Chains A and B, each alone.
Chain A
Amino acid sequence: MLILLQGGRVVDPAHDRDAIGDVFIEDGRIVAAPTDGRRPDATYDLRGKIVMAGGVDLHSHIAGSNVTLAREIMPELPALAAAGGVDIAPSPATWGSYATGLRYAQMGYTTVIEPALIPTHAIEAQIELAAIPIIDVGALGILGNDDYSLGLLRGTGDASELQDYVAWTLSHAKCLGLKVINAGGAEAFKFNVRTFSLDDEVPDYGVTSRAIMRAMQKAVTDLGVPHPVHLHCNNLGVAGNADTALATMEAAEGLPIHLAHIQFYGYGKEGPKGLSSAAPRIAEGIARHKNVSVDIGQVMFGQTVTISGDILRQFDGRNAANPKKWGLSQGEGNGTGVVPYKYRAKSFVNAVQWSVGLEIMLLADDLWRVLFSTDHPNGALFVRYPEIIQLLMDRNERARWLERLPQDAREVSNLAAIARELTYAEIAIITRAGPARLLGLQDRGHLGPGAVADVAVYVERDDKKAMFEKADYVFKDGRLVVRDGAVTEVTFGRAYHVAPGFDSKIERRVADFYDRYYGAKVSTFGVPDDIAARPHRFAKVPCQS
């Protein structure tokens, strides 16, 4: 069946395209216009509408034992958010797996990456991911605080065994890439260490955060995993931590690295309250270090919950919990910290955070490396994305928001001076084209022939929030799944992962390790192909060796 999407403004920055034109779909793929005079079987008149590839969200906590722990601690989150004006149903089911997929699709997103899969809990993560309808997914597996890695890095550090171990872990858990969260910090916390920086040493193992990060970068690069190490730096949320972010960029020494939710590291110590925006320095650092990519982790005012494997920092933040309850689960490797949190426009600190994220995006020199996220739900619920897009595209809207902020926050913010308004093409880069490219998902984020036919169509409106809240049409693999902001067909997508090769010796070694220290069989957390009870659930992304 040949489908023609006709006459819309096609915004496809991967192909330098931003013009009125046509998009053809056949057999689930974008195809070139037929040259044989074939008539389309279905035509959609998209005059007045914007056509983009389906959204690709590279960092959103949507599945896993960590997310479900947060659901257990805060079933009332949707109700509180709705009471604060967010347009979601106030039921606990709203942040269950099923509702997550539908809502993403309604906004025109078609691929979402779970950034924190705990390897021993891979089964729950992959079952939950499979329960999310419509969207394609991928997951990043967490290493860097696990004892096996630290044991290898102790002393001389066996690079080839670490490489095999990383490959084995990613294959075993069917992950798309590697996540490292406060490398060494979670393990140090188990020894009652309460602050941990780049050059601090993990007790007993004696290895630094910097060394762990470097070793993981080398492993990932040598394996040819397309996505670089996805790093959650040390000192998240600490005033002055822009120094940490910049030191980490330097520490990467030219090897690719992705720094997650960089807003949370965008703080200086200037001003009467000892907290200021260091966004210009961060933006300059990203511009200078071309091997570095980031996602923003934009904060929005309102109720949310923070979910993180950075148990050291989550524990430190427990007294700021709002409502006053919190969870810490010490587990193999990182574990999970859950701290409910309410960002308030009247709070100096939260106002600075809100400004920092926007500043970093608007000051970006190369938006292909400065990608959109709220670190859902940590900065804001993903349903807030349309509001953020509006703020990026409309400086008057930013000015209206700034007026509500405390005076002392405005004094340390740089936002008022930034006139830039992102274009549709730039929005497409940071929400589709850039993330897809960075993840190594070459068949999406763009509308060139051969791309998967994941297409989002928006009615062009002055009110960008309204525009991006409800896609007019969404096609997933060439099937219409959303019409006028409502899901019309519930489909189920695929999970993308890498399967790098490894020396089989590592399997015996890891099996012995888990048996000896945990009394556990590694086979119990190996993800089978049929875990979703659906054919073709998993799709391999090739490594680039």
Chain B
Amino acid sequence: MGDGAGALERAAELLGGARLPVIGGLLTDIAGAQAALALAEKLGGVVDHAAGTALTRAARIRRETGVCAASFGEVRNRADVVVILGDAPFDQDPALLDTLFAPHDGLPRPGNAKRQLVALGGRKPSAPKGVPLTSIEIGKGGLPAAIAMLAAGVGQRRFAFKDKSLQDKIESVADKLHTAAFAVFVYSAAELEEPVLHTVLQIVRDLSNKTRAAMLALPAPGNGEGVNLCSTWTCGLPVRTSFARGVPVHDGWLYAADRLIASGEADALLWIDGLDGKPSALPGRVPTVVLSARSGSHRRGDIVIEVANAGTDHEAALYLPAITGIGMVRPSGQGSGKPTVAAVLTRLSEIIDARGGR
């Protein structure tokens, strides 16, 4: 731990003098993300988010094929068949089913079938009261094949699978989807890889020719969706973007923070951890500045600057699942008196400029 002013000076010296600094973690609010992007541009560095793998995977699908998405509110109110893919949705949000299946009637919805739940994954969930559940438990590694079979079933392409019982169950789900008024697939981009995401999107598009269907992604934790949106409106590109060459360049593999550190391409890390939630492990080992709202998320030798917790200590713009978008969160308490991530990054930028820039 260093004293306030001294730590800022040492951080500015480290980051300003680095060949390729990486700004990672990015567990922060929109203002923090804006300041981080501005700093990355000034330093000619790279930005990545702790949930960068999932975020860039989803971004790649969007720019290759597009989306067919529904908001949380639309799924909650309109979907008559909700298909949960994989385990991650439940792991990430244990209250997911309670929020998707409110105990009272929702807004007017298409069709008048009873709302039902399908779970295609590793373990059987407990269904909300009164909601019929079809659970197809599939071992780890079996999910891509199961989803491929579902796509074939929906597209009415014949196939034969070694596990006839599983095939029958999948084909029966395909039938459900055809007769659904609005089927929605709930998933996490952290769990489903690109080919599987493409397949699910294709299922939705096939269904959309006759009926309605959509996908609902669990949002990336740590304000990942918010930070990624901010990156996009700022420089046109998602996280894992490099500003080293003046024009921003994105590559989901090349500009992953942990890869850059492990390979030695990156020579400094600015790790931002200013939110609640599961702490993320810092990648690799390079000279590091940590902006932290929690104790213990740094290692010996890190330059640590304490920051406020966005949303808890101060008003913050954060991605909120309930509105499937960025909203304002206001603190209930007093605030910690610590500086915001945005304020610290802005100060760092000023000190770097005063030292004669990069």
Report if A and B associate in a common complex. yes
Q: How far is the CB of B74 from chain A (nearest CB, A)?
A: 5
With A72-B62, A329-B67, A520-B320 known to touch, is A127 a contact of B30 (CB < 8 Å)? yes
A131 touching B315, Cβ below 8 Å: no
Instruction: Decide yes or no: A75 and B323 within 8 Å by CB, A147-B107, A190-B78, A325-B65 being known contacts.
Output: no
A124 to B181, CA, bound (A): 31
CB within 8 Å for A91 and B72 given contacts A131-B34, A330-B214:
no
Contact among A325, A330, A524 with B64 in the assembled complex (CB-CB below 8 Å): A325
- A93-B235, A192-B211 known; A75-B326 Cβ under 8 A: no
Residue of B nearest to A328 (CB): B68
B69, CB-defined interface residue at 8 Å? yes
In the complex the two chains form, what is the Cα distance from A91 to B31 in whole Å? 24
* Stretch in contact with the other chain, from A22-30, A280-288, A480-488, A525-533: A525-533
Question: Which residue of the partner chain A has the closest CB to B325?
Answer: A121
B287: Cβ under 8 A from any A Cβ: no
Tell whether, in the assembled complex, residue B324 and residue A331 are in contact, meaning their CB atoms are under 8 Å apart: yes
Q: Which residues of A contact B106 (CB under 8 A)?
A: 517
Q: What residues of B have a CB within 8 angstroms of the CB of A190 in the complex?
A: 74, 78, 109-110, 182, 212
Structural contact, B234 and A528, CB atoms closer than 8 A: no
Q: Are B67 and A69 in contact (CB under 8 A)?
A: yes
Q: Collect the chain B residues with CB atoms within 8 Å of residue A91's CB.
A: 236, 247-248
A502 close to chain B: CB less than 8 A = no
Interface stretch, picked from A94-102, A161-169, A226-234, A248-256, is A94-102
Binary B-proximity of A315-347 (CB < 8 A = 1, otherwise 0): 100000000011111111001001000000000
Decide if A123 touches B317 in the complex (CB within 8 Å).
yes
Contact between chains at A73 and B67 (CB < 8 Å): yes
* Residue picked from B30, B71, B109, B315, most chain A C-beta under 10 Å: B71
Interface core residue of B66, B78, B102, B237 (most chain A CB under 10 Å): B66
A524→B323 contact, CB < 8 A: yes
- Is A263 part of the binding interface, using a Cβ–Cβ cutoff of 8 Å? no
Chain B's nearest CB lies how many Å from the CB of A508?
18
Among A93, A127, A524, the residue within 8 A (CB) of B320 is A524
Residues of A within 8 A of B99 (CB): 519
**B248 A331 Cβ-Cβ under 8 A:** no
A interface residue count range (under 10 / 10 to 19 / 20 to 34 / 35 or more): 35 or more
**A120 interface hit (Cβ, 8 Å):** yes
Find the A residue at minimum CB distance from B104.
Answer: A516
Which of B125-133, B143-151, B327-335 forms contacts with chain A?
B327-335
Q: How far is the CA of A168 from the CA of B41 in the complex (A)?
A: 39
* Contacts A91-B247, A330-B74, A524-B322; A325 near B66 (Cβ below 8 A): yes
Q: Does B341 belong to the interface (CB within 8 Å)?
A: no
State whether A192 and B234 are in contact (beta carbons under 8 Å apart), knowing that A73-B63, A332-B73, A517-B73 are contacts in the complex. no
What 0/1 readout, one digit per residue, does chain A (116-158) give for beta carbons within 8 Å of chain B?
0010110110011001000000000000000100000000000
The verdict on B70 contacting chain A, using a C-beta distance below 8 Å, is yes
A506-540 contact mask (Cβ, 8 Å, vs B): 1 or 0: 00000000001111110111101001010000000
Question: Of A203, A315, A518, A524, which contacts B110 at CB under 8 A?
Answer: A203
In the complex, B229 has a CB within 8 A of chain A: yes
Q: With A and B bound together, what is the CA distance between A327 and B205 in angstroms?
A: 11
CB-CB nearest in chain A for B326: A124
Cβ contacts under 8 Å, B324 to chain A: 120, 331
Tell which of A93, A96, A519, A531 touches B322, judged by Cβ atoms closer than 8 Å. A519
Q: At the interface, yes or no: B305 with Cβ under 8 Å from chain A?
A: no
Q: Which residue from chain A places its CB closest to the CB of B73 in the assembled complex?
A: A518
- With most chain B CB atoms within 10 A of its CB, the pick from A72, A190, A335 is A72
Are B73 and A95 in touch, CB under 8 angstroms? Answer: no
Residue of A nearest to B70 (CB): A330
Q: Please report the C-alpha to C-alpha distance between residue A203 and residue B247 in the assembled complex, in whole angstroms.
A: 49
Who on chain A is nearest to B69 by CB?
A: A329
* B248–A524 touching, CB < 8 Å: no
- Is A74 in contact with chain B by the CB < 8 A criterion? yes
- A contact residues around B211 at 8 Å (CB): 192
Return chain A residues, CB-CB under 8 Å to B229.
65, 68, 124
From residue 33 to 62 of chain B, which have CB atoms closer than 8 A to chain A? 34, 59, 62
A68/B328 in contact, CB under 8 A: no
Chain A residues with CB under 8 Å of B108's CB are: 147, 203-205
Residues of A within 8 A of B248 (CB): 91-93
> Is A191's CB within 8 Å of the partner chain B?
yes
B77 at the interface (CB under 8 A from A): yes
With both chains docked as a complex, state the minimum distance between the C-beta of A54 and any C-beta of chain B, in angstroms: 24
Say whether A93 contacts B247, CB under 8 Å.
yes
Which residues of B are found within 8 Å of A338, using beta-carbon distances? 66
Q: Mark B88-124, 1 if CB is under 8 A from A, else 0.
A: 0000000000010010101111100000000000000
CA distance A329 to B325 in the complex (A): 12
Check A131–B233 contact: CB distance below 8 A: yes
Of all chain A residues, which has the CB nearest B204?
A328
**A331's closest neighbor in chain B, by CB?**
B71
Contact yes or no, B233 A330, CB < 8 A: no
CB distance from B6 to the nearest CB of A (A): 27
Is A71 an interface residue, CB under 8 A from the partner? yes
Q: Are B237 and A92 in contact (CB under 8 A)?
A: yes
Query: When the two chains form their complex, are residues A191 and B110 in contact, meaning their CB atoms are under 8 A apart?
Result: yes
B208 at the interface (CB under 8 A from A): yes
Shortest distance in angstroms between B288's beta carbon and chain A's nearest beta carbon? 28
> Residue B222 at the A interface, CB < 8 A?
no
Chain A residues within 8 Å of B72, by CB: 518
Q: In the complex, what distance in Å separates the CA atom of A92 from the CA atom of B247?
A: 9
Q: Given A69, A127, A315, A521, which contacts B326 in the complex, CB threshold below 8 Å?
A: A127
Give complex CA distance A329, B77 in Å.
Answer: 15
Kindly identify, within residues 236 to 289 of chain B, every residue whose CB is under 8 Å from any CB belonging to chain A.
Answer: 236-238, 247-248, 250
Contact status A523-B328, CB under 8 Å:
yes
Q: Is the CB of A327 within 8 A of B328?
A: no
Residues facing A in B194-249 (CB within 8 A) are: 208, 211-212, 214, 229, 232-238, 247-248
Which residues from A are CB-within-8-Å of B214? 328, 330
Residues in A with CB closer than 8 Å to B71 are: 329-332, 335
With A72-B62, A520-B73 already in contact, the answer to whether A93 and B236 are too (CB < 8 A) is yes
- Given A72-B232, A98-B234, A329:B70 Cβ within 8 A: yes
Once A131-B34, A328-B68, A328-B69 are accepted as A-B contacts, the answer to whether A65 and B325 lie under 8 Å apart by CB is yes
A72 & B238 in contact (Cβ 8 Å cutoff): yes
| Chain B 300-349 residues near chain A, CB threshold 8 A | 315, 317, 320, 322-330
Closest to A324 in B: B65
Cβ-defined contact, B63 with A75, below 8 A: yes
Q: How far is the CA of A63 from the CA of B214 in the complex (A)?
A: 24
User: Cβ of A327 and Cβ of B182 under 8 Å apart?
Assistant: no
CA distance A327 to B59 in the complex (A): 12
- The residue on A at minimum CB distance from B100 is A519
Q: A63 CA to B317 CA in the complex, in Å? A: 16
Is there contact, CB below 8 Å, between B315 and A68?
Answer: no
In the assembled complex, B178 has its CB within 8 A of some CB on chain A = no
Bound Cα distance from A120 to B322, whole angstroms: 10
When C-beta atoms are compared, the residue in chain A nearest to B243 turns out to be: A93
| Interface members, chain B 146-165 (any A CB < 8 Å) | none
The 5 A-B pairs at the shortest CB distance, nearest first, are namely A92-B236, A524-B327, A204-B108, A520-B322, A518-B73
* Interchain residue pairs with CB less than 8 A apart (16): A71-B236, A72-B62, A75-B237, A91-B248, A92-B235, A92-B236, A93-B236, A124-B325, A190-B78, A192-B211, A519-B99, A520-B323, A523-B330, A525-B328, A528-B315, A531-B328
Extra contacts besides A73-B67, A315-B208, A328-B69 (12): CB < 8 Å: A75-B63, A96-B233, A97-B234, A118-B325, A192-B110, A203-B110, A325-B66, A327-B69, A328-B66, A328-B214, A330-B78, A521-B322
Task: Give chain A's interface residues, CB within 8 Å of chain B.
Answer: 63, 65, 67-69, 71-76, 78, 89, 91-98, 118, 120-121, 123-124, 127-128, 131, 147, 190-192, 203-205, 315, 325-332, 335, 338, 516-521, 523-526, 528, 531, 533
